[in-house]
Amino acid sequence: MTLLIDAYNVLKQGRAAPIISQVEVRRFVSLLGQYAKLKGFSITVVFDGGDFQRPTAFCEGAVTTIYAGYGRSADEVVVEKMLEYCPGEVMVVSSDREICSEAARYEIATIEAVGFFDYVRGEVTAQQRISCRPKQVPGLYKRPGCESSPEVDLLMTELIGRVPNKVDDLPVEGGRRLRRKGKKSKLERRIDRLVKKL
């Protein structure tokens, strides 16, 4: 699936300021890149203007950024681009009536620009929260900011509730403490091997 986005139409929704800075444009494209990675989409985002006479495209990951160039509007480029796809392969994001009617004419799905930016930002933010959340294993707590190797994490997870007894912890029988004879258990030997790797 490809999302074809009329960029300024999306960015100007709900804004009082008519001018959008290059910083905002870069943030928007970066956010779209994260969204494309999250959803497995390819995204083509079309802006008005640019430094060239003809439409010029720049690719960054799954996001293709197109500037319409001098004397052309992004609307014209969006319509041209949408006709390069079959109806089920592309979805157009715009609230522009001309773009939406042209898309309807060729049976191409459209999404209203209103709320699209907030929706994408919400999806990316939610995914970042999920991916940053540590796996919760009952009884195992990690200090925030501390990194450890996957081997140590696996070992700690396996050891929850199975900490080897010290000699002092063994039961007393007839005034004498019971001692283990000779060999360490499999688990203790595995722990020793992993500790030596660190």
The rounded distance, in Å, linking the Cα atoms of 9 and 112 is 10
Q: Are 167 and 146 in contact (CB under 8 A)?
A: no
Output DSSP code: residue 171: P
Predicted model pTM: 0.63
Domains of the chain in sequence order = 2-132 (3.40.50), 150-197 (no CATH)
User: What are the tens digits of pLDDT across the range 155-171?
Assistant: 666 655 555 555 555 55
- Tens digit of pLDDT for each residue in 130-145? 655 555 555 555 556 5
Mean pLDDT of the chain: 77
109-111 and 63-67 as β-strands: parallel, antiparallel, unpaired? Answer: unpaired
